[in-house]
Structure 1
Amino acid sequence: MRAKKFLTWRGILAAALAIAGITVLLWPNIPAEATTVDRAAASSGPVSVCLVTANAPDRERTVRVAPWAAQVLLQQTRSYEGPCASYGAPSALGDGAVRTYAQIAGGKPQTVGITFPKSTFNNLPTAMTDGNHCFDMDGNGTVDPHTECVGGHERPLELPAQLTSLPNMPLKWALVNFNPMGHGPHGIYDTPHFDFHFYTQSKAERDAIRSGPCGLAINCEDFATATKPLAPEHMPKDYKDNGVAEAAMGNHLVDMTSPEWGTEKFTQTFIYGAYDAKISFLEPMITKAWMEGIAAGTNPNRCWPIKQPQQWQVAGWYPQEYCIKYRANRGDYTVSMQNFTNSAG
């Protein structure tokens, strides 16, 4: 009964915040019903939350609240860990839509990612690819979608202008690819999964990577450009160039210590893209099953470190970890990069 009373009090608090538009919750005023854990949390100081309520789901406000109050808002409203995000335009996929977001504080990127509702997993495409990047590689007059097409089903996305206008921000745009049957190498990545690309290369340059008979349906001249070796100091630690260059994509550098290259099945990994001897994109790659397992509670929300090169060719803000999360209070997923540091110093 005591716990129920506390939750009710907290619900009233959340509603009061929403109605009054309060931007700072007095701290550390805690109701008598607060638990020992709540009292201990309050001693750590206020935290940022992006306040979103059911009656105004498109209105977001950054508030500073005591930690115990943040827990209430994150459980009982559509609020999320702050600061509030800026968003890119959505693109339909399945029964939902994917869109980019960025959280910025004090002129520094906090989080850059892609978010989409759980409904996106309903009625996803089932064909191998959308047919946009194909080439008759064997010259037999027909195109086999399983061996002569690449890219799955792609959704190009603009990053928020608030992010791309930041000084020393190398990220330019994003791309989501859904691969209903996966792709090669056989036995490694041939399971349904998503590719979440964050490009340092312009979209015009990426679009100019032609289809052709070399590599993964890529033009042979563009294959040669894509596979130009990076200088050793620019190659991320433990990554290897396997010559996996693809039309409308470029080369893919693979972390050979990632579990799927050993004895474990592929669940998630991080890929670097390269073109013309330069890093061209950063890519979390995640199976559909792994993400569904997060929503079901069998897989955890968590982050992984991103291995870095010794030196970035273009100085600027780069993420140190990537995260995969399901936000139950919002019914959505986030695939993000965070903990940015500025290599320019």
Structure 2
Amino acid sequence: MNKFAYLAIFAGVACAAPAVSAGCTQTTIVEQVEPGPAPTDTPTGDAGTEASTSGQKVDGPSGTLFGATVKSYATLGAGGEIATAGVIVPFAAFNAAPANGPFQDEMVLEMPDAVKSQTFLQHLRVNWLSKGHGPSPYSAPHFDLHFYRGTVAEIDAIDCRADKRLPPAAQVPAGYTMEPQLCASAMGFHSWPEKDLSSSAWSGSMILGYFAEKMVFLEPMIPKTTIAAKQSFGFEVAKPSTLGGAKTLYPRQMNATYDATADAYTFEFSGFESID
């Protein structure tokens, strides 16, 4: 993607950028970065094969991340409803991330049609931040797995400068904060667990995203050290009172399960509940 992305942070006490002084009253720090396009051989996902029989596993589209094949999938309940949805990522994909690289979508992958039609999860974009980003403790090298609600075109159209509205309080679950404020174009505003901001150790978090007064993404943000440990882990997915959109199924848990035989992680959402 050749469009500009704006990482905007508004916080604390400062004066006109770039200087910062305790005698000033407002901070507006805007960093403009231009993400380069994802590699031309990175597909948004092949059509895949979808099972028509309820209770079966659904194989969705696949894509390429740092030379390794990533697969999306879902499992269906007896009535055809989504029971679980996720992606399988070889460890080799994470291990091949470059020491330095541009800020870009490393892979864009559609979820299976059944998942898109029933749930919040529409497509996945993976970002690799070799130098991390603010606020602390997110400066560690880490991977962002953004699971978006919306089409690729709709998410691409998100412009932080065009709509600066923060989400209503009902959309931000207890234990999460919008401070310091960060909005990235083609992503949205980020909300993180309050406990992260006072922690000296960080092993991963579930980040929530918003734009135009709607929730637009769930983001497992995972440091490379956690991935390198080859151990299973998981995050609870906090549920707000409303997402600001049409009725859908919303997951309450994300488990990352490491399979030593396959040398791969499965990132799986489960516990889907109706909302809005």
Residue number among 183, 190, 194 corresponding to 2:139 in the alignment: 190
Native 8 Å contact 1:199 1:280 kept in 2: yes
CA contact (8 A) 2:60 2:112 kept: yes
Q: Secondary structure of the residue that 1:89 maps to in structure 2?
A: strand
| Deviation of the 1:320 alpha carbon | 0.8
Of 239, 250, 262, 2:188 maps to 250
Give the letter for the 1:108 counterpart: E
Report the CA distance between 1:84 and its aligned residue: 5.0
State whether residues 95 and 122 of structure 1, in contact with CA within 8 Å, keep that contact through their aligned partners in structure 2: no
Residues 94 and 227 in structure 2, CA contact (< 8 A), matched pair in contact too: no
Distance 1:312 1:278, change over 3 A: closer
C-alpha displacement of 1:337:
1.5
User: What whole-Å deviation, never above 9, does each CA across 1:180-231 have from its counterpart, x for those lacking one?
Assistant: 222222x421222111111113321211135xxxxxxx5x32xxx1x41222
Supply the distance in 2 between the matched residues of 1:245 and 1:122 (Cα, whole angstroms): 28
C-alpha change, 1:85 and 1:289, in structure 2 (3 Å) is: farther
Q: Give structure 2 stretches of 5+ with no counterpart.
A: 1-48
**1:266 & 1:121 partners in 2: Cα distance?**
18
Normalising by structure 2, we get a TM-score of 0.72
Residue-pair matches, total: 223
Alignment of structure 1 residues 1-345 onto 2, 5 Å: 85-106=57-78, 107-129=80-102, 151-166=103-118, 169-185=119-135, 187-210=136-159, 220-221=161-162, 225=163, 227-242=164-179, 243-257=181-195, 260-293=196-229, 295=230, 299=231, 301-314=232-245, 315-343=247-275
Ranges of 4+ aligned residues in structure 1 off by more than 3 Å: none
How large is the Cα RMSD of the aligned pairs?
A: 2.5
Structure 1 pair 264/100, CA: closer, same or farther in 2 (3 Å)?
farther
Corresponding residue for residue 40 of structure 2: none
Shift of 1:86: 2.3
Deviations 1:103-138 (A, max 9, x none): 222222222222111221343233331xxxxxxxxx
Partners of 1:125 and 1:103 lie apart in 2 by 33
Larger relative strand fraction: 2
Structure with higher helix content: 1
Q: Give the direction of change, closer, same or farther, for the CA distance of 1:118–1:204 in structure 2 (3 Å limit).
A: same
User: Whose Rg is larger?
Assistant: 1
Q: For structure 1, which runs of at least 5 residues remain unmatched after alignment?
A: 1-58, 62-82, 130-150, 211-217
Amino acid at match of 1:234: Q
Cα 1:152–1:265 shift into 2, 3 Å:
farther
AA partner of residue 98 (structure 1): V
Q: Quote the Cα distance in structure 1 between the aligned partners of 2:126 and 2:223.
A: 13
Distance 1:127 1:152, change over 3 A: farther
**Matched residue SS, 1:236:** coil
Percent identity between matched residues is 28
Q: RCO greater where, 1 or 2, for CA within 8 Å and sep 6 or more?
A: 2
| Cα shift readout 1:59-101 (whole Å, capped 9, x = no counterpart) | 9x9xxxxxxxxxxxxxxxxxxxxx6532333222224132322
3-state DSSP of counterpart to 2:251 = strand
